[in-house]
Structure 1
Amino acid sequence: MIVVIGEILIDIFPSYQRIGGAPFNFAYHLKQLGFGVRFFTRVGDDDHGRRILDFMENRGFDAEDVQIDQRHPTGTVQVALDSNGVPHFDIRENVAYDHLSLESAMGGKAQDARMIYFGSLIQRSANGYGQVQEFLRSSTEQTTCFCDINMRPPHVNPRAIADSLHRADILKVNEEELDDIRRRLGGPPSADPFVSWLMARYAISTLAITRGSRGSTIVSGDLPIHHPMSGRDDVVDTVGAGDGYAAILAAGHINRIPWETVIDQASVFAARVCRIPGAIPDDERFYDEPRLLMKGNANGR
């Protein structure tokens, strides 16, 4: 079972709205790929929240994992796209997911998890930070902790960043986030020595770095694996591309697929996400090819 903790919200684009949030996108992709997923989140008792609940129940998510907040609204994000389809986010504060409670999920669900996914936005509040860190502490050593840091200034809790690095077995960052972490922590000034220093200091077994048009890198063991970007033809927007990449990374780890294969599949999947509006597809056939690739390459590592 994969446990995902974090925000679900409504992305409000200039001409349409989509359900989003990095943890939700990650959870949705993995569920569509055939993995067992529990997604712990919180929505408001409002129209956005009811839309989200209806969508999730129709897609097979467990309704009891979605808390309903009577006092705070469902999270929303105003999304503006530049000429290259790159998003800029205006994230509403003090919303339902900031008040998520994981007390009932601690213990059994944390200990049963094969993987726990978490990020930093859910930890911007004191409540979210405390709940996530306590949940991680209640997991076992056999559980893989996957941190997709997803730093969204000014919604960054420095203490949460440091503690999340300590908890991460697998860490995914983009180049800007890696630079931000380096400025916060110090360490070697150049990229490659800093990566080695970071992984050693925080006992991170695998680090994935996405670099936009310059592709991505996975560092696991002694040698980094580099992969060019998988095309930019027909880009609608890049919203959720990193979440798609992260989902394939997680699936590859669970299925013990060689990282050389995983990075190729993750890059291709992220590029496909860029060709649809928003972060998740309307057509479930979107997942047919990735399912076959995952099945065919399983147990190779």
Structure 2
Amino acid sequence: MNASVLPTTIPDYLEQLQRSLAGADPALVQDALYDAEEYLRSELTENPGKSEAEVIAAVAGSYGAPDEVADIYRDTEVKVQSALRTPSTRPVVSQRSPFARFFGVIAEPRTYASLFYMLLALATGIFYFTWVVTGVSLSGGLAVLIIGIPFVILYFGSVRVLSLVEGRIVETMLGERMPRRPLYSTRGQPLLERIKELFTDPRTWATQLYFLLMLPLGIAYFTVAVTGLATSLALIAAPIVVLFGDFGGTLWIDEINVMDVHGLWALPLCFIAGVVLLFLTLHLARGVGYLHGQLAKHMLVKTSQYD
């Protein structure tokens, strides 16, 4: 075990753990702090006759000192991310030709996960927007009544729960590391201080802003995804339908018979245009997935707490 002096209180232990994790992913830090506090306080509850210093000293051999726990979390995170990453026998992106990079997007699972997120975002955006607008409206309306304060506290707590849910969706579909535990809070604080922290926490308000933004973003994502897929697949299928279907050899686009204007040359051109548009849509989905993952990370994770 590390020869450094062990902390004597749980807040000191968590503070040292936070310092030891400096520079790590904020989502990882949040998970580590929550796990450590949960474990230490459960040990303290099971040993009511011991002080915090005695409990920390007793569990140091099994759970570890703060710097040891930090190293374990860093190593575990690397292993987990490596295990979750889809194995690939293809050359790395920098070694692939532009042609292979352009068309290789169709073989990447993350592409379809991002595309599905764009479609799902409309439903989640409507739900989040409705939840926030309804919650804020009722909170304001009930503020003058005695049930107003409990309702506001309950609503703000629900926002944190939904933040975790959205984080799991983002991490699963977009690949951006998000918190897997609730936000760390000092449980030794008085109840009123913890309630005050709930209202003054910038992340609480940033999360609500994120939920409001999800409606216009969800509409945009859904529209782009559906339009891109529908148009590209229609252009790809059009030549086949014209050649083998009972359409009299006509291909209408915007009330113009393309066959009359361009003849048979229109069929391969439509097919090529559809294929190119399809791959552009897939690349756009990957780009949207990456950018939205960064947006969610900055608005749903309290990074300032771990700087």
Q: TM-score, normalised by structure 2?
A: 0.22
Q: Which one has more relative contact order, counting CA pairs under 8 Å at least 6 apart?
A: 2
**Which structure has the highest helix share of the two?**
2
**Which structure has the highest strand share of the two?**
1
Larger Rg: 2
Q: TM-score, normalised by structure 1?
A: 0.22
